[in-house]
Amino acid sequence: MPIDVDDTNDELLEDLPASIDGRLQRLLAPGETIELAMASDIRADGSFGDTWLVGTNQRLLAIDPADTSSEPLALDLRDVLSIELRDFEGSGALHARTSEHGVTLARFSRTFMPKFSQTPRHLEQLVRRQQPERAAEDRIARGGADMQAGARRRCDRCNRVIPRRFGLCPACLETRKLLVRLLSYAKPYWALGTLSLVLMIVATTIGLSPPLLMGSLFDDVLAPTAAGSDLRPLLDEYDGYTRLAILVFALLAIFVSNNVMGAVRRYVLAWLGQHVTFDLRNEVYRHLNTLSLSFYNERETGRVMASITQDVSRLQDFISDGLQEVIRDVLTIVIICAILFWQDASLAALVLLPTPLLVFTTLHFGGRLQRTYRSLWRRWAGISALLADTIPGVRVVKAFSQESREVGKFERRSEELLGGELRAARLQSLFSPIMAFITRIGTLVIWLVGGSRVLDGELSLGAFVVFTGYMWQFYGPVEGLCRLNHRFQRAATSAERVFETLDSQPDVRDVPDAATMPRVVGRVEFDNVTFAYDDTTPVLEHIELVVEPGEMIGLAGHSGAGKSTLINLICRFYDVTDGAIRIDGRDIRDVELKSLRDQIGIVLQDPFLFNGTVGDNIAYGKPGASLDEIVAAARAAHAHDFLMNLPQGYDTVVGERGTRLSGGERQRVSIARAILRDPRILILDEATSSVDTETEVKIQEALERLIRGRTTFAIAHRLSTLRHANRLLILDKGQIAEVGTHDELLEVDGVYARLCRMQSELTQRKVW
Amino acid sequence: MPYAERTDPAEGVVTEPLPTYDLMNELALLDPERVRFSADEYDELYLCIDAGEPQGPLTVQRAFPVSEADEFLSLKDADDAEVGVIRRLDQLDAASRTAIEEQLQWSYFACTITAIHSIEVKYHVPHWDVETDRGPRVFQYGSRRDIRVLPRGRVLIRDADGNGYEIPDVSRLDAASQAIVEVYI
C-alpha cells in the first residue's frame, strides 16, 4: 500500500542508484518493500555527498553509498516514538527517537529543507501502520515549520535562485510570449494602432526625403550638372528660379505634413497607451481585491503596490513607444541603406563601415553605464537606509555618546558614493566623445573618398550632399536598436509580474451557486478542525467545540497557540485544511463569502483606519449609516468624549492608517465600526490592549451590553478582560488544552490556573 | 441555552436570532420640547430643563463641524463633562437657537473667502491675499495638510496661526480667482 501523498510532493520514491539498489535488495527481509527513498546531501561525517534515507514497510534505513564497509543504520518502525525535522542554521536533520535513544536518519543542507519538510508526516504514516495501537492524538511527526512561508526563494520551474529585486525568475521569462500576451490588451484598439503605424511609416518615409531635395538643389539648381539629380525629370521644363521655388515649397510641404502627422500620431499613441494601461491597472486592482489573504502573506506590500504603480506604466511605455520605435528604427535603416546603395554602392559600403564599431561601443558602454548606475543607486539606498536608521535613533546615539562613530559610518558610505559618482561621470564623459568620434569617421570617409570622386567628376555634388545628409540620420536608429534588448527585457519583467498577479487564483472563493447565509442565529461548530498555513505543520489540530448562540468565548493561551488563526478561520480568511466549521449547521464553505462576512464584526489589536474622517471610518462597514447611528456607536465604544475634544469632532481626518489618533483611540473607533454593523458574530482580538485601565473598565462595561445576543469570540492576554466570558477556551500548541468557565478551570488547576496565578503575581509586583 | 426557540407549524422548532442591545439607547439626546437656552448679559450660555434651575455656564461643541454643522451639538459644563446633546439646532425654539448660535459664532470663528487677489510662494510658503466676508486678509500656511479639499468644490484652510477660512464652492468664485487657486487645491 503506497503512502497517501498530496500531489505537491510526489517525489517520495526517488530513483536509487544501482550501487545502492543492489545493496538494498540484499538487506531487505522477505516481504519487505520500499515505500520511500530520498537522497540527502550531507554524510554522517559532515562532508558533502549523497546519502540515502530509505523507508520500507518494516524499517527505516540510512545508507551511505561511499561507505561499503559498515552496516547501514537501521531502525525498526515498531520502536519509533517520534520523528522530528530539526531546523538548524545552514543545515537540517531528520531525527528519530525510540524509547531508549535518538538516531539521526539524515542530514542535509538547507537546499533540501523544502523536500524534507513533509517527510516526518510521511514517515508517521509508515510508523502508524506498524503500530496500529498508537492513539491518533499521540503525535509522532514533529517540526517542519513554515518551510515554504515567505517569498519564493527558488524558481518552481528551473530551481534557480530568484533575485529578490525581481521577485521572479529572469531565466524563465518567456519574453516573446509575454509581449504577445501584452499586445492582446491593445487588441480592442487595433484600428487606432494600425492608423498610428501607417502614419508613422508615411511620416518616416517623407521625413527621409530632405537630403534628396538637397541633392537636387545642388545638381539641378545651384550648380546644375548635365545629368542632374534623380529628381531632374520632374524639373526639366522649368528655369532656375522656378526650380528653386518648387524645391523650397516641397521642403516646406514635407516639414508641415511631417509635423502634423507626428502630432496626430503622438496623440493617437498616447491615447492608445493610456487606455491600455487604464484597462490593465483597473483589472489588476480589481483582481487584487478578490485574492485571499494568503496571496498577500507571501508577498511584500511594496512589491504588490509596484505592480500597479510601476509595472503597469512601464508596460504603457512599451506598448505605445517601444514597439513603434523599433519599427521606425528598422524602417529608417532599411530605407537609408536602400537609397545610399542605389545612389552609389561602393561609397555606401564605405559609409556603413563604422556601424559595427558603433554597435559594439553602444552595447559595451551601455552595459557598463547601466551597471554603474545600478551600483550608484544601491549606494544611495544605503545612505538613505543609514539615515532612516540613525536619525530616529538619535536619542540612543546621544545617550551612548556615539556621535563620532555615526559620523564616521556616514562618511564611509558617503565616500563610496563619491567614488561611484565619479566613475559614472568618467564613463559618461568618455561615452559621448567616443560615440561622436565614431559617427565622425563616416563623415571623414565621405569627405575623403566622396570628395575625391567629386573632384574626379565621378560623383555629382548633389550626390555628395545626399550621402552626408543620410549619414547623420543613420546612426540614431542604430543606437536605438542596440538598447532594444534592455528595453524589452524590462517590459517583459514588468509584464510577468503583472500577469503573475492576474493569474493568481483566490484560495478562498465562493463555490458555484453558493447559497446566501441567512440571518445568523449564532451557533458556531468546530468539527475536528485542522489547519496549516502552507501545508506544513498544522497551526490548529483537531479542534472540537460547539459554541451556542449568544455565548461569549474567551480565547487564551500563549502567543502562537493558534488563537488568531481560529478567528481567521471563522471569518473564512482561510479555508480549513481538514474538518469543517459550521454556523447554524451550515458549512461556511458552502455559503456566499460576502453574506457570511457581512454578519461578522471584528476588532483587531492594531486596528487599521483609512485616511478619512473619523465619522467615515466608523461607518466603513455600513455605508450610508445615519448620523444617529454613528454617534450612538461611538458613544457605546466610549469614543465620543475624546472625539468631541478634537477641534473638528467626528469630521477630524485621521491621517494615513489613522496615525493621528493614539492606539487606544483607534481601538475605540474600531469597536464603534464593528458594532455599527450590528454583527451576529463579534470578534474581539485584543480589542482593548492599547487603552488605559480606566477606559478599559468603561469599554468592558459597554461591551457587556453590546455582546448581548451575539456570539462573541474574544482574545485577550490580560485575563481580567475575559471575565464576562461564558466559557474560556485555552489553546496550547494548536490544540484545545482546556474548556470551561473561569471557576471550572481554576478547579482543574491547569494551564489557565497557572496563567491566572502568574498575572496576579505580576500585578502585585507592579504595585510594589 | 438562552436563545429564542419557537415552534413553527411548517418547519418545526426554529431558532431565531436573540435580540441585541439597541444602540440608540446610547444617544443622550436632550428633548427639544423641554429645554430652553439663554445667554446672560456676559454672553454665557445657560440651560433650563422643564423650567428648572438654570445650569451653566455651558460651552457648545459641534460633533460634525465640517459636514453637518447644525446637528449633534454637545453641551459641556465648566468641568468639561457632557450635559447633553442637541440633535438638530432647528428643533429648538427661536430664542434658544439664537443663544446657541451666538456661542457657535465665536467658538467656530471662520471667514468665507469671496475673492482671491494673489497667491505668491515665497520660500515654499504660499502667501494668500484674499477678500473675505469679514474684510481683506493676508495669510500663510505651512503645510499642504492645512488645506482640506472637500467634495463639491468646498475648501477649508487653516492658516499657520490657526485661523480658519472657507471657500464654499471654488467653481463659484470669479474666473480670475479660480485661475489663481487652481494649482493649490
Concatenated DSSP letters of A137-203: TS--EEE--STT-SS--B-TTT-PBPPTTTSS-GGG--HHHHHHHHHHTTGGGHHHHHHHHHHHHHH
In chain B, the number of structural domains is 2
List CB contacts of A747: < 8 A, sequence separation 6 or more. none
Cβ contacts from A onto B, under 8 A = 99
Tell me if B10 is assigned to some domain.
no
Q: How far apart are CA A666 and CA A647, in angstroms?
A: 17
Share of residues in chain B with pLDDT > 90 (%)? 4
Chain A contacts to B (CB-CB under 8 A): 519-523, 548-551, 584, 613, 615, 627-629, 631-633, 635-636, 640-641, 643-645, 647-651, 653, 675-676, 678, 680, 705-706, 708-710
Look at strands B125-132 and B135-140 and give their pairing.
antiparallel
Per the structure block, which three cell numbers stand in for B67?
Answer: 459636514
Q: Which residues are bridge partners to B75 per DSSP?
A: B60, B84
| Residues B94 and B127 placed together within one structural domain of the fold | no
B84 touches A: beta carbon within 8 Å = no
Domain match, B97 and B157 both: no
DSSP-derived 3-state class of residue B121: strand
The one-character DSSP state at A613 is: B
Nearest Cα residue to A285 out of A305, A302, A300: A305
State whether B135 and B96 are in the same domain.
no
Closest CA relative to residue A341, chosen from A326, A352, A355, A332: A352
CB A326 within 8 A of CB A523: no
The answer to whether residues B113 and B167 touch, using CB atoms and an 8 Å cutoff, is yes
Size of chain A in residues: 768
Q: Which H or E run includes A632?
A: helix A627-636
Establish if B63 belongs to a structural domain: yes
Nearest to A161 by CA among A170, A173, A150: A170
Query: Does B101 contact chain A (CB < 8 Å)?
Result: no
C-alpha cell at B22: 439597541
B11 within domain boundaries: no
- Confidence class for position B14, pLDDT limits 50, 70, 90: low
In a domain, B54, yes or no: yes
In three-state secondary structure terms, B111 is strand
In a domain, B178, yes or no: yes
Those residues whose C-beta lies under 8 Å from the C-beta of residue A629, and which sit 6 or more positions away, are A619, A622, A676, B23
Q: In the prediction, which pLDDT does A210 show?
A: 86
Cell of A646: 478634537
Please check whether residue A55 is in contact with residue A126, taking contact to mean a CB–CB distance below 8 angstroms: yes
CB contact under 8 A, A632 and B23: yes
Q: B96 and B120 share a domain?
A: no
Q: Are residues B159 and B96 located together in one domain of the fold?
A: no
**Interchain proximity B62–A643, CB inside 8 Å:** no
Q: Would the CB atoms of B85 and A631 count as touching at under 8 Å?
A: yes
Question: How many whole angstroms separate alpha carbon A111 and alpha carbon A435?
Answer: 47
Beta strands A524-531 and B135-140, pairing class: unpaired
Strands B35-39 and B12-16: what pairing? Answer: unpaired
Q: Which of B106, B137, B161 is the last residue of a domain?
A: B106
How distant is the Cα of A635 from the closest Cα of chain B, in angstroms? 6
B89 within a domain of the structure (yes/no): yes
Residues of chain A contacting residue B85, judged by C-beta atoms under 8 Å apart: 631
Q: What's the predicted TM-score (pTM) here? A: 0.67
pLDDT, residue A631, reads: 92
**pLDDT at B49 exceeding the cut of 80:** yes
DSSP string, A435-468: HHHHHHHHHHHIIIIIHHHHHHTSS-HHHHHHHH
Nearest beta carbon to residue A548 from set B3, B25, B64: B3
With an 8 Å Cβ cutoff, are B148 and A653 in contact? yes
Strands A552-557, A727-732: pairing kind: parallel
From the list A549, A584, A648, the residue facing B18 with the nearest CB is A549
Nearest Cα residue in chain B from A672? B23
Write the DSSP string, A535-593: GSS-SEEEEEEEE-TT-EEEEEESTTSSHHHHHHHHTTSS--SEEEEEETTEEGGGB-H
Query: With an 8 Å Cβ cutoff, is B20 touching chain A?
Result: yes
B149 close contact with A: CB closer than 8 A: no
What's the gap between Cα A646 and its chain centre? 40
The one-letter amino acid code at A733 reads K
C-alpha A271/C-alpha A320 separation (Å) is 9
Query: Nearest to residue A326, comparing CAs of A432, A183, A434?
Result: A183
Q: Give the type of residue at A172.
A: C
In a domain, B7, yes or no: no
Residues B94 and B153 in one domain: no
Within the 45-74 window of chain B, which residues sit less than 8 Å (CB to CB) from chain A?
61-68, 71-72, 74
From A551's Cα to the closest Cα of chain B, the distance in A is 9
Q: Which residues of A381-420 are buried (b: 16+ CB within 10 A; e: fewer)?
A: eeeeebeeebeeeeeeeeeeeeeeebeeeeeebeebbeeb
Give A87 to chain B, closest Cα distance, Å.
Answer: 48
Q: What pLDDT shows up at residue A713?
A: 92
**pLDDT band, residue B4 (cuts 50/70/90):** low
By CB atoms closer than 10 A (0-12, 13-18, 19+), residue A4 is exposed
- Report the relative pairing of strands A141-143 and A82-87 from DSSP bridges: parallel
HSE (CB half, 13 Å, CA atoms) of A517? 26
Residue ranges in chain A whose pLDDT is less than 50: 1-2, 5-9, 145-151, 767-768
Closest by Cα among A759, A634, A747 to A699? A634
Q: Which of B20, B27, B148 comes nearest A631 by C-beta?
A: B27
| Cβ contact A117:A73 at 8 Å | no
- Give the whole-angstrom CA distance, residue A607 versus residue A618: 12
Cβ-defined contact of B15 to A523 (cutoff 8 Å): yes
B122 with B59, same domain: the answer is: no
Q: Does the beta-carbon distance from B64 to A705 stay under 8 Å?
A: no
Secondary structure letter of residue B29 according to DSSP: B
B121 pLDDT band, cuts 50/70/90, is confident
B-chain CB neighbours of A644 within 8 Å are 61, 63, 74, 76, 82
- Domain of B176 in residue numbering reads as 110-182
Helix (H, G, I), strand (E, B) or coil at B72: strand
**According to the model, what pLDDT value does residue A149 have?**
41
Can you give the pLDDT at residue A99?
83
Q: Best mutation site among A519, A651, A681, A698 for testing chain B: the one with the most B CBs within 10 Å?
A: A651
Kindly state whether residues B71 and B132 are assigned to the same domain: no
Count CB-CB contacts under 10 A for residue A573. Answer: 16
Out of B106, B125, B140, pick the residue that ends a domain: B106
Same domain, B42 and B114: no
Map residue A123 onto helix, strand or coil.
helix
For residue B27, what pLDDT is reported? 83
Instruction: Give the model's pLDDT for residue A7.
Output: 39
CB neighbour class for A682 (10 Å; exposed up to 12, middle 13-18, buried from 19): buried
Contacts of residue A13, defined as CB under 8 A and 6 or more positions apart, other chains included, come to A34, A35, A36, A37
Q: Give residues with Cβ within 8 angstroms of A9, minimum separation 6.
A: A118
- Asked whether the beta carbons of residue B85 and residue A551 sit closer than 8 angstroms, the reply is no
Please judge whether B64 and A550 are an interchain contact, meaning their C-beta atoms are less than 8 angstroms apart: no
Rounded alpha-carbon distances, angstroms, from residue B14 to A218, A475, B10, B176: 103, 84, 10, 69
Whether residues B69 and B123 share a domain: the answer is no
B148 contacts chain A (CB < 8 A): yes
Q: Please indicate, yes or no, whether residues B88 and B153 belong to a single structural domain of this protein.
A: no
Report the pLDDT value the prediction gives residue A148, as an integer from 0 to 100: 42
Please judge whether A635 and B27 are an interchain contact, meaning their C-beta atoms are less than 8 angstroms apart.
yes
- Pick the residue from chain A with its C-alpha nearest to B86: A628
Residues B64, A653: C-beta atoms closer than 8 Å: no
Q: Is B184 on the interface with A (CB under 8 A)?
A: no
Rounded (10°) CA dihedral A76, A79, A82, A86: -50
CA distance A95 to A143: 10
Q: In this structure, what C-alpha cell is assigned to residue A34?
A: 520500499
Q: What is the helix, strand, coil percentage profile of chain A, to 5? A: 55, 15, 30
What pLDDT is recorded for position A252?
A: 92
**B12: in domain:** no
Whether A679 and A524 have beta carbons less than 8 Å apart is answered as no
Boundary-marking domain end, from B61, B76, B106: B106
Same domain, B115 and B152: yes
